[in-house]
Amino acid sequence: MKNIPSHKTFLFPILLCFFLIPACGGSGTKPPAFSPPDQWGSFGVGVREFHLTDLDRSNRAIPTLIYYPAKSPPPTGGNYEGTIALNRVNAVLDAEPDFSLAPYPLIFFSHGSGAGKQAYKYLLEYLASHGFVCVIPDHTGNATLGEYLPADLSFSITRYYDISFVITHALELFTCTCQGLYGLADPDRIGLAGHSWGANTALAVGGARHSYDYFHARCLNDPGFDPYVCPLYDQRASLDRDFPDPRVKAVASFAHDGAQTYFGPDCAGAQAITIPTLEAGGTMDMYFTFDNEIQKCYQNLGGPAYMLKLIGGGHMAFADIGDEGTMPTGRMQDLIRRYTLAFFGYYLKDPNKYGSYLDPAQAAAWNDGFNDFEWGKKGE
């Protein structure tokens, strides 16, 4: 097992007081254990914000949101487009957790550049309504539009260790009897997802091999090469020691741009990923061409792999933003939700219940009357 860096954490006192409320078991009727991926789930959704400080990295502050099954009324839908500044649409702030079917699988999420922890509610609230606990931190320094290009050129490395740190300390919330969340999430069923720069982060933490020699040569000879990749070379020994993170059991990577920069020509470094991986992207993404980016990584993935090709989809609808492509934002987000839920449901919850939703026959049914996406799978 790879070594995971040890960190110390500090929870703001006011939040510690909040979490000292004892955890309660479920009361009343249990919600159904399963709802199909094309419908909202039967759980209510709660959201809590807490603050972690990584004392081993110069007191780095990492504000984090947790979306979780709650005893509030189940959501039935909602418009998420343009809600990027809000931390909830359907979720109820500080709602009482629903422990009736706990422990639930855990999904961690790495946001895109300039997006932030509040920008993916359309997906994370949906997953929580289906019985997942979803944790999304700010990559502080790259979490607002004004920080789209962070001053710190080693920020790719910062992102990797943010995720590892947050996994470690979010798990403490669910395994400590003193914080009111004991037993809510299962530390042995962890998935990781990410969008854009966060998608590259998810691939790296999940096991993709950096192409150190390739990008080091480019860094030395090409002044226009991605400056956020170059610092990886000098840190290669520690990165290879600390990643992949063995706690992550499945990865969903949405609209990564620059994977061939990080992982080499044709995304050859994706061969090192042996855990199940979902690749998704749009054919009208403003930052890359689908065939050169998503398709090539999918083809090289070393473990069970799935690919969602959104015809006419762009880059921004993977977050709570209107899209630049021709696919309607609502339709695009609906497909992302369905397939992300089916994927993580299959590998982290119940393969018997979710497996059929990953089959070509189901794709044909969901595509009927639309013909706006392609679905691929290999390596099972």
Residue 156 sits in a domain whose CATH number is 3.40.50.1820
pTM of the model as a whole: 0.92
pLDDT of residue 29: 61
Residue 34: pLDDT band with limits 50, 70, 90: confident
Closest Cα partner for 313 from 340, 299, 296, 294? Answer: 294
- Residue range 26-49: mean pLDDT, rounded: 83
Residue 85: pLDDT band with limits 50, 70, 90: confident
Give a yes or no: residue 271 inside a domain: yes
Element (H, E) at 238: helix 236-242
Give a yes or no: residue 22 inside a domain: no
Residue-range definition of the domain harbouring residue 35: 13-17+30-378
CB-side exposure of 259: number of CA atoms within 13 Å? 37
Give a yes or no: residue 6 inside a domain: no
E strands of 23-173, at which residues?
Answer: 44-54, 60-70, 92-93, 104-110, 133-137
Residue 27: pLDDT band with limits 50, 70, 90: very low
Give a yes or no: residue 182 inside a domain: yes
Q: Look at residue 326 and give its three-state secondary structure.
A: coil
Q: Are 44 and 74 in contact (CB under 8 A)?
A: yes
Amino acid (one-letter) located at 245: D
pLDDT of residue 2: 36
pLDDT of residue 322: 85
- Residue range 147-153: mean pLDDT, rounded: 92
- Residue range 136-158: mean pLDDT, rounded: 94
Closest Cα partner for 64 from 118, 114, 119, 100? Answer: 118
Give a yes or no: residue 84 inside a domain: yes
pLDDT of residue 24: 40
Residue 25: pLDDT band with limits 50, 70, 90: very low
Give a yes or no: residue 2 inside a domain: no
Q: Are 96 and 184 in contact (CB under 8 A)?
A: no
pLDDT digits (tens, 9 = 90+) for 298-322: 999 999 999 999 999 999 999 999 8
pLDDT digits (tens, 9 = 90+) for 228-261: 999 999 999 999 999 999 999 999 999 999 999 9
Q: How far apart are CA 108 and CA 24, in angstroms?
A: 24
Full strand arrangement of the beta sheet holding 133-137:
92-93, 44-54, 60-70, 133-137, 104-110, 185-195, 248-254, 277-282, 305-310, 373-378
Domain count, the chain: 1
Q: Is the pLDDT of residue 361 over 50?
A: yes
Residue 343: pLDDT band with limits 50, 70, 90: very high
- ω before 22 within 30° of 0 (cis)? no
